[in-house]
Amino acid sequence: MKLNDEEQDILAGKQGSVRQQALRHQMDVGDFFGAADFVPVTQAHIMADTESLGEAGVQYLERLAAADESQRKVQVPTITDPRGTDFSKASMLGQSAAMLELERRAIAAFVKLGVTMTDTCINYQTVQAPTRNEHVAFGDTGVVIYSNSVCGARSNFEGGPSALAAGLTGRTPRYGFHLAEQRYATHHIRVDFAPASLNDWGALGAVIGRAAGNYWSVPVIEGIEQAPRSDQLKHFGAAMASFGSIALFHLVGFTPEAGRLSDVADTRLPSHTITHDDIVRLQNSYRGAESVDVVVFSAPQLSLYELRDLADLCDGRRFKVPLLAVTSPQIKPDADRAGYTARIEAAGGHVLSGMCFYQSYAREIAEANGWKTLATNSAKLVNILGGYGYDPMLASMEACVEAAASGKLRAG
């Protein structure tokens, strides 16, 4: 990779060993993908829950944090994805003292590195959305696909070590979706129905993700006639990224790079039509049981509007099985002030903040609570939780709330 004078200095250790180590890691990745040089970034976002970090990852962070203060601080605003717990709800989840101690150590190390603990995977709704052509280094696949697609920003998937490296050096290797030529459509999708619920949007994203296949695929979608809401595109993108490792989609007429199909694709690109039956099949493939052990709304964290809708559905109910709604630390105070938290909890639900269900020792909390069958309206979550030993079921928010009250998920 071609290095400028500042990068040569960092590599030579003139800005300390922490940035030197970070740049070396970035060069390994850049060389792997054939990056010509680095591109400056304005923000970084780090996924680093302690289930992923483990003891080894936390020790790595602590070693970086032990460096001299002048050499260890991030160079651009650097924020965090959800943590592995909501400390105020940890005992309800059945998390152990060791999990919480690891979490505290990770947080302390991040703070010493100058990282801002936002603990959110919806920073584009709650902290600061990137702008078109803004180069950023974002972790969390849902954050990346939304930022690239809906905001027109430029980011690759940046895993925790790489996002932290980008924060420390203020740059990232220029490859993938930082390049204009990578952003043209490879798959042309037509949708012949109007998705309505969030689980419909998630299922549509899942079907497109599976069809598109891998990270380097860019679907362009036609057939959506009404402007989608942010929460709908949040579930759509998160599922597409989860099922297909997709980092960018274009929605003709709505996303900023695709005013017309021809802006992002050869108009002769063959199209593939996705029908309502396709998303029904996808949703039915996650309906293996009737009884429900736990209901979860998470992945991505809920917006204020989702919590409002959930509170409306909770009024007058009394839940038989736990219902968990997970949001960000930025949204939670507003939900408290608006009374949504109290209404959800009056029905027996729990509103958690700053974590995400699957990033919070999902296997261990299942064992601690005897949870096996789980109902959710998140297509992303059902895709992830099979590997953690759950039988996850995908349904509408309304059906999930009904399941929390009755203990059974109705068919259809």
- Enumerate binding residues for another protein (CB under 8 A): 25, 28-29, 31-34, 47-49, 51-57, 60, 81, 139-141, 156-162, 176, 213-216, 241-245, 247, 358-359, 363, 383-384, 386-389
Minimum CB distance to another protein smaller for 141 or for 377: 141
Task: Kindly state the smallest distance separating residue 275's Cβ from another protein, in Å.
Answer: 23
The pairing of beta strand 78-80 with beta strand 44-46: parallel
Minimum CB distance to another protein smaller for 163 or for 307: 163
Task: Kindly state the smallest distance separating residue 387's Cβ from another protein, in Å.
Answer: 4
Minimum CB distance to another protein smaller for 144 or for 233: 144
Task: Let me know if 25 is exposed, middle or buried by CB neighbors in 10 A (0-12, 13-18, 19+).
Answer: middle
Question: In whole angstroms, what is the distance from residue 70 CA to residue 4 CA?
Answer: 22
Minimum CB distance to another protein smaller for 160 or for 349: 160
Name the token pair of 187. 């798959």
Minimum CB distance to another protein smaller for 191 or for 356: 356
Task: Kindly state the smallest distance separating residue 157's Cβ from another protein, in Å.
Answer: 5
Q: Count Cα neighbours of 270 within 13 Å in the Cβ-side half-sphere.
A: 2
- State which amino acid sits at residue 68: D
Task: Kindly state the smallest distance separating residue 362's Cβ from another protein, in Å.
Answer: 9
Task: Kindly state the smallest distance separating residue 241's Cβ from another protein, in Å.
Answer: 8
Task: Kindly state the smallest distance separating residue 224's Cβ from another protein, in Å.
Answer: 25
Minimum CB distance to another protein smaller for 47 or for 151: 47
Question: In whole angstroms, what is the distance from residue 307 CA to residue 351 CA?
Answer: 9
- State which amino acid sits at residue 288: G
Minimum CB distance to another protein smaller for 56 or for 97: 56
Q: Which of 333, 358, 327, 308 is nearest to 141 (CA)?
A: 358
- State which amino acid sits at residue 43: Q
Minimum CB distance to another protein smaller for 45 or for 332: 45
Task: Kindly state the smallest distance separating residue 406's Cβ from another protein, in Å.
Answer: 27
Name the token pair of 123. 């920073």
- State which amino acid sits at residue 46: I
CB proximity list for 139: less than 8 A, separation 6 or greater:
45, 46, 47, 48, 81, 157, 158, 159, 160, 162, 163
Q: Are 130 and 144 in contact (CB under 8 A)?
A: no
Question: In whole angstroms, what is the distance from residue 259 CA to residue 86 CA?
Answer: 41
Name the token pair of 69. 């203060």
Task: Kindly state the smallest distance separating residue 100's Cβ from another protein, in Å.
Answer: 18
Minimum CB distance to another protein smaller for 29 or for 113: 29
- State which amino acid sits at residue 122: I
Please report, for residues 98, 156, 367, 390, the alpha-carbon distance to residue 52 in angstroms, rounded to integers and kept in the order given: 15, 20, 18, 19
Task: Kindly state the smallest distance separating residue 398's Cβ from another protein, in Å.
Answer: 28
